[in-house]
Structures are given as C-alpha cells and as structure tokens.
Structure 1
C-alpha cells in the first residue's frame, strides 16, 4: 500500500514516517513538501492514501484534496486539522477522514490500518474509484465523533456532560428529542430535555440517536425517503441489539442503524430491488460499507453493512453482528431472512421469537424531517 504525505517535517516528522514504514510489511511511505510535487507524483503513480497537512506553501489544503479526488478518485484522502479546531467547510467536502495535529502515532497507524483492512474486505477497486469521484461525499458525522471521543476520554462522563455536548448543536438536539419521544423509545412518557434522555435511555442509545439524526439529514434523497429509511433503521437497530449478547449489542445496534446508508449515495444500485441486466452500478450495501470505512468506523460494523444482504459472504462463520443485522434489516423491511444461513449458524429456532419481538414494536407513523 502506497501512502503519500503532503506537508513539511513539522507536521510529518521523519521518525513518525519511519515508524509507519516499519509497521506495514508492504507499506510504501513517501512525503512531498508541497502540493505541486504531490500532484506530479500522483500523475505518475497512484497512491492508496494521501495525508495532507493543514497548511501548504503553494495551495490551500482543500484545493489539493480536490485535485487528488479528480486525479486519483480511488485514493483515500485524510486531512490533518489543527488541534482544537473543527474541520473547515471546504475540507469537509473533499476529505474522507480527519486527524488532529500534532499527529499521534497510534491514531495514524489505526487510520491507515483500517483503510488497508477495508480494501482487503471489499476487494473492489472500481467501487473505490466510483465513490471517490462523488463531489459531495457525505462528511463524517461530527457530533457523533465528538461524543465518541468524549466517552473514550472519560468513561465516567455524566448525563449533564453528554447533554451539554449534544445541546451545542440545536438542530440535532431538537431532532434527538423528537426521536426520544417516538414510539420506539418513549414508552408513553414524555422526554422533555436532553439530560432526561441520557438518564432514561442511556448514553449508548442517545449516541445512536445522534448518529441517526446526522446521517439521515444528509442530502441525496427526498425528505420522505429519508424519513422512511430512518424509521426502518431505528427499528432494525432495536432488533439487532436484542439479538446479541451485551458485549456485542452496541456494535449490532449501530451497524443496523447504518446498514442502508449506501442508499444516500448517488450512482448506487438499490439491492432491495430486482437486478437489471447490464446495470454495473455498485450495490448500496458495499457502497455504504466503503463510506463507513472512510469515516473510520469499527471493522465489525463495516463488515456487517457490507454483507447484511448476503451474510454467508462474511468472513465470520458464526452468528454475530453481520447475522444480527441481516435478520434485523429483513424483519424491519418485511422481508424473509436467509433461513439456510440461520440454520448453518444454529440460530434458526430463535427466528420466531425475534419475529414476534419485531411485531411487538410500535413503529412511528412518520418521522419528521
């Protein structure tokens, strides 16, 4: 895998690049001092990953990232953001992932390693080129990521701390409260403030509601379609969480919530519809998984999204996150799960109970935009 860093040694010190080179047996690590040199190198030879410093001597970082997208759309684009700052608006539209400066070695290794795993999992270069050409690729959900970082930094974060973080984005906060009072979560009791939502629903559920609000506010489909997708995703999330042990329940809930995110991307094929001869568009499951990989979500979630339509293709042979998401999405969409797969993984006798639970959940009549 070829990794190209663009920026000076103050951002990308030699010892950091040497460490990266030593960690991957086939990682070819190179550095360019400016945008012009980077464009020339990319024109001559492709790169799998481009990591761009916040400031370059000859071009704005956003301009270079746009040129990388046009020249090598299959290249994964990582923008380094100055510490303590939100990604600039122009960067959000052209970068797949953001890392804070100064670069922590463990974060950089994780980001590059995840991208390598993503390529091995999907093994579809044409998919990378097609997604890479999308001019307005949905940006990573920033509030969800801030919540994740806050929880990782402080395991004892209080309900008030989490509520304050969500309240900083009034539009998302209002949407979260609306979803908290939907039939999925309220149990007939009104939730009137974010702190009560955290206390009653738990941090994990609130985090997934934030994710749902951010993801299903993305452009690309009509408001009605987004509401329908969100409604099915919330139901599937509840179902998947029920099917898995506590140690895996959060992964399953998040993966089911995001399983159909590929439908929000342009130029993809809806795999819920019968295939049409000659349609070479990528399926929405793999396209969505590729997007989540670029965002840096955990690999079990990416794999579950990629293979939720065909769980037998997963590398995991037992019934785990991929299996739970497959069943949850089928039941939420009124489809029949793959019973041969369920029989092979030893969970077919549980299908009737899962189906009964799905029917017991009262779906909201509609979810407002």
Structure 2
C-alpha cells in the first residue's frame, strides 16, 4: 500500500479517545481493542487536561472517560467536551458512579458503562454510537436541513418542566402547577390521560394527579406531544392529517411502552421508548410545513402506487422523515436511545444492535399499529423486520405483542364509538 492510500485509510477511521488516570486501565483498553485498529484510530490520555490538549490538535468522534479522576474529573471533562466539541459522542466508564455524579451528568453523557466492562459490550456500544452519528451526518441530510425555513424549537412549557425536574427543590406538585398555567394544555393532558390508552381505574382531574399516577417522564412526553402538534397548521398539505398523525403517535407510543413492560425492561427504557413513540413521526410535520406542496405530492404518490413512504422521501427529498426527525431532536439534546429509536424505526438493522432497546419496541409497535390501525396515506406497509427480530432472539415474542396490540386498539375502538 502506498503512502497516499495509507493516509486516506487513516482519514476514514473513527477516532476514539479513552481517558483514565490509571495507566493499567489504559493499557488494558489498548490491548482489548487492538482487534478494532483497522476501523478505529485509538487515542489515550491520562487525565482531563491532557485529553483537552489532544482534542485541540485532533478531532475525536467519541470520548470515553473515567468519572473519578484527580484534578479534572470525568464530569468536568465531558462538560468541557460538550461545550467545545458538541459533535463528539460522550461515554462515562466508571465503577464508582455515585448518585450525585449520575444526576449531574444526565445532560452531558450519552452512554454509561460500568467497570469492569467486557470488550464485547464496549465495542457494541461504540458501534451503535458511531452508526447513529454516521446516519445523522450524511451529506444529503445536512444539505436538506440547512435549506429548511422552519425548524421547530423546543417548546417553552417543556423546558420549564425540565428545569423544575432538575431543581434541587423539585416537587411533583410544582410540575403539576406549571402545566396548569396553560389552560388548553391542562385540558388536553387530562383528555389524553383519561383515555383508554392509559387504563386508569379512577378519573384524573388535575395535572398534579396525572404526574403522581403516571410519573414525570410520561407526562412530560405528553406535554411535548401536545405542544409540537399545536405548532403546526399544514393546511397546504391536505393529505397529512394532524389528527390522524397525533392519534397514530399516541397509539404507537403506548404500545411501545407496553412492549417494554412485557419484556420486563427497566423504567428508564420504558420512558425512553414512550418518548420515542410520541416523537417518531415528527419529521413528517417538518416536511409538511417546509415543503407542503411537494410533500402532498409524495403522499399522493405512495397512496396511488402503494409505494414505501420512506423510500419515496429519500428519493425526492434526500432523506426520510425518521432521519430528519432524529436530526432535529438531536439539536434539542434528546438522549441517544431516543434518537436511535426514531432514526432507525423503519430500518432497525442499521443500528447494529442485537439487544432489546427502545428501538426494538418502537419498530415493532409502529409496524403493528400501521398493520392494525392504518392512519392516512402510509403507502406500502413495510411490516416487521423478521430477520432483525430473529437476530435479536425475539421471533417467538411477535405473536404476544400482536395480541396485546389488538387488545389495546380494541379498547380504543370501543372508546371512539361511544
């Protein structure tokens, strides 16, 4: 291989920086990841100061840092990295993650890993992070997003709730009061909470009661759902019905969360899955507002010719609604599991994961919802990716999920009929 070819190969590699004050740990990481040297360019730093100096000279795609280090600890380092190099993925690798440090790092860290971490687990996480960033950094998507005139901003009421939840004096009562300041929002939240989707055994009469019964993350996602859909009035795109899209999003989100619960996944995964379900089609809204005439033609085309909507979007616009939605939500600072679920919910195999993650549940829930409750001109339904689910060892769960979906949507039909 000549020198120019070698230089080109190096330029194409992803650069990953590992930071730890223990020399033996860095040596162990270097040894365990040696097999990845053809794909990744590995860098090592013994502390935060040295890491920042290295990043000032060489751009990094991922920073993996120990959290407890003398001088500049991992939280301080990753906070600096977020500020100076926002495109770099940030991973916390530590065996001493106390509650204070975890709470302080929720807006800084993309992924947590505990020591000791197996090579397989570490490589799998890094592959997923890089796959997502590669997908959201495609040139066509970058060009498309720069040409859009109306990119939505994070709703103010959602921001106010987020700030309250991060306050040292946070209370559920206060969260309910914040929602109550918007009368229209309060009414809509109560309407949603009292619908059959949530299966409440008692009538919920206030936002504060909703927070107590459903939890802050679910109610926060519902606030985001209501506010995002209320920002748009795509009358110039008549084939995209806001009412149908909002209903589909809520049904998908509810089923997504229930699939996670059926698989005994943690509360965090259930909440991420619900939020991803609420937001998985936000890219359609962005398309409809920015290019209503063209997007209406796309919807007409997929309906008339029974074509795949994501495929036509990519052919005509350069990117699909899932990819665009995840890109915009990334600008809002949404967590990687949520972005991954939205970006890949039509093509889960692109994520490279074989674990059950929010993406797994969202892909299944979206496909089942479209199959059982088609909403509008969706075109040719792509259905469940049987190969992906088999790869994850979940083939035998599909019939159970479908049965749960039929029960959920049956209740919704009874409610709408009455």
TM-score by length of 2: 0.58
CA–CA separation in structure 1 for the residues paired with 2:190 and 2:52: 43
Q: Per-residue CA shift, 1:240-287, capped at 9, x if unaligned?
A: 222330141111111111111100112466795374595243111101
Normalising to structure 1: TM-score of the pair? 0.65
Structure 2 residue matching 1:363: 3-state secondary structure: helix
Match of 1:353 in 2: 400
| 1:329 to partner: Cα distance | 0.9
CA distance in 2, matches of 1:351, 1:110: 40
Q: Which SS does the other structure have where 2:58 is aligned? A: coil
Q: Deviations over 1:139-173 (max 9, x none)?
A: 1122223322322334x733311111212333322
CA contact 2:140–2:318 (8 Å) conserved in 1: no
Q: CA deviation at 1:360?
A: 1.2
Match of 1:110 among 82, 89, 92: 82
The number of equivalent residue pairs is: 274
Does the alignment pair 1:208 with 2:257? no
Match status 1:239 vs 2:255: yes
Question: Are 1:331 and 1:358, in contact at CA under 8 Å, matched by a contact in 2?
Answer: yes
Cα distance in 2, alignment partners of residues 126 and 21 from structure 1: 33
Q: Deviations over 1:174-233 (max 9, x none)?
A: 221221222212536432211221222222221111111112212153597222111111
Q: CA deviation at 1:330?
A: 0.9
User: How big is the shift at 1:119?
Assistant: 4.6
Segment drifting more, 232-241 vs 144-153: 144-153
Aligned equivalents of 2:80, 2:190: Cα separation in 1: 35
Q: Which runs of 5+ in 1 are unaligned?
A: 1-17, 29-103
CA distance in 2, matches of 1:290, 1:274: 15
CA contact (8 A) 1:115 1:294 kept: no
1:140 equivalent to 2:154? Answer: yes
Paired residue for 1:65?
Answer: none
Farther off after superposition, 264-273 or 344-353: 264-273
Of 160, 164, 174, the residue aligned with 1:161 is: 174
Between Structure 1 and Structure 2, the one with more helix by share is 2
Query: Is the CA contact 1:231–1:363 (under 8 Å) kept in the aligned structure 2?
Result: no
Consecutive unaligned residues of structure 2, counting only runs of 5 or more, are 1-49, 61-75, 90-131, 300-306, 372-380
Provide the aligned C-alpha RMSD in A: 3.2
> Larger C-alpha radius of gyration, 1 or 2?
2
Closer/same/farther in 2, CA of residues 137 and 300 from structure 1, 3 Å limit = same
Task: Report the equivalent of 1:184.
Answer: 197
| Equivalent residue, structure 2, for 1:254 | 275
Answer whether contact 2:252 2:277 (CA < 8 A) is retained.
yes
The residue aligned with 2:391 is 344
- Rounded to whole Å, the distance in 2 between the matches of 1:22 and 1:114 is 16
